């Protein structure tokens, strides 16, 4: 699983700290060559080799932060970062330069799960210990090796905690988004159920009584004569008109047009963890309830799956 960077504030603080450590290693090497004139730094092309390895390390470190980089790319960049740090330590074995391994340990632990990260750190520490017995790195003391290993383990522990915190936060945000979507869906269903209940009551109770009333007034109008018959026939027409009005109300309640655009905008506004873009056509200004329900369900499902 590809991980994003830690929370914004944590990312900034860690990046500042890592940048300072990388700068400290470069500054120490510069002082050794240009000011202290250390014997190791006087070797042919030492400055050129150090600068090349240092730039490679910085490039690999910067590339491992890119969100667009896939898991394979990040692992490759971490490998380059570790190898370039090893190369720089081989060129100039110094305690300050070992902080490059600590920076690499942080990025490894943030990218990989805890088990593989600890394995990678163990290999990196073993390489560091091997440098003590190869070439100019014999000046590396056991105390430096133990201290560097402790700092690496500390970096792995902190990165693991930050990783777990970020995963928990992302899961909580997804759960909240699903709950908001479910709440909107239940509210919509409750409104539709209430409209159907009212229309059913109107149709079953009031509609039935008005139909019976209209039939009886029709019979009475046929039997009555004179002014009374005129009043009865007028009442018959009023009852028929009222029955038609009830039927219209029932039909409109069952297929009431829905402002689909407003409903979808409200659903998307409740999801703050995704960049959802809605494109509407003019025909969606008013849609009947059944079609609107299908579209709303589809949008909610798409957002939940994403």
User: What is the Cα–Cα distance from 71 to 64, expressed in whole angstroms?
Assistant: 10
Q: What angle do CA 161, 162, 163 make, to 5 degrees?
A: 90
Half-sphere exposure of 12 (CA within 13 A, CB side): 2
User: What is the Cα–Cα distance from 275 to 306, expressed in whole angstroms?
Assistant: 10
User: What is the Cα–Cα distance from 216 to 210, expressed in whole angstroms?
Assistant: 10
Q: Is the distance from CB of 21 to CB of 61 less than 8 angstroms?
A: no
108: burial class by Cβ within 10 Å (0-12, 13-18, 19+)? buried
pLDDT of residue 63: 84
pLDDT of residue 4: 45
In a 3-state reduction of DSSP, which class is residue 60? helix
Helices within the chain (DSSP H only): 8-30, 46-63, 71-91, 99-111, 114-131, 142-201, 207-223, 226-254, 260-269, 289-305
Nearest to 274 by CA among 166, 165, 183, 176: 176
Helix axes 99-111, 46-63, angle to 10 degrees: 20
| pLDDT tens over the chain, length 306 residues | 444 454 455 567 878 888 899 999 989 888 887 676 677 667 788 888 889 999 999 999 988 877 767 778 888 888 999 899 988 988 888 888 888 999 998 888 888 888 888 888 888 888 877 776 555 544 567 777 788 888 888 888 888 888 888 778 878 877 877 777 777 767 767 777 777 777 776 666 666 667 777 777 777 777 777 777 777 777 777 777 777 777 776 666 655 556 677 778 777 776 666 788 888 776 665 566 667 777 877 887 777 677
Q: Is the distance from CB of 83 to CB of 133 less than 8 angstroms?
A: no
Model's pTM, two decimal places? Answer: 0.56
pLDDT of residue 3: 47
User: What is the Cα–Cα distance from 156 to 151, expressed in whole angstroms?
Assistant: 9
73: burial class by Cβ within 10 Å (0-12, 13-18, 19+)? middle
pLDDT of residue 2: 43
pLDDT of residue 80: 92
pLDDT of residue 52: 92
Structure tokens at 151: 């700092």
Q: Looking at residue 203, what DSSP letter applies?
A: I
């Amino acid at each position: 699983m590809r991980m994003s960077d830690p929370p914004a504030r944590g990312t900034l603080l860690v990046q500042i700290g890592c940048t300072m450590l990388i700068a400290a290693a470069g500054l120490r090497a510069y002082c050794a060559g240009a000011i202290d004139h250390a014997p190791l730094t006087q070797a042919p092309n030492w400055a050129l080799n150090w600068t090349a390895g240092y730039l490679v390390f910085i490039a690999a470190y910067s590339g491992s932060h890119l969100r667009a980089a896939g898991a394979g790319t990040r692992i490759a960049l971490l490998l380059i970062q570790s190898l370039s740090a090893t190369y720089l330590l081989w060129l100039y074995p110094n305690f300050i330069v070992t902080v490059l391994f600590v920076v690499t340990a942080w990025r490894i632990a943030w990218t990989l799960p805890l088990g593989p990260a600890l394995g990678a750190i163990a290999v990196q520490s073993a390489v560091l210990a091997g440098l003590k017995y190869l070439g100019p790195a014999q000046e590396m003391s056991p105390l430096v090796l133990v201290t560097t290993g402790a700092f690496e383990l500390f970096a792995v522990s902190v990165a693991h905690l930050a990783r777990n915190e970020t995963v928990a936060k992302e899961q909580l945000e997804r759960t909240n988004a699903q709950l908001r979507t479910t709440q909107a869906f239940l509210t919509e269903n409750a409104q539709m159920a209430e409209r159907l209940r009212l229309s059913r009551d109107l149709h079953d109770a009031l509609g039935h009584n008005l139909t019976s009333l209209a039939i009886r007034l029709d019979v009475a109008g046929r039997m009555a004569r004179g002014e009374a018959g005129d009043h009865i026939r007028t009442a018959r027409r009023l009852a028929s008109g009222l029955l038609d009005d009830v039927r219209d109300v029932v039909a409109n309640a069952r297929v009431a047009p829905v402002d689909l655009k407003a409903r979808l905008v409200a659903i998307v506004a409740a999801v703050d963890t995704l960049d959802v873009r809605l494109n509407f056509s003019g025909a969606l200004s008013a849609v009947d309830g059944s079609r609107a329900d299908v579209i709303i369900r589809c949008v909610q499902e798409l957002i939940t799956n994403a």
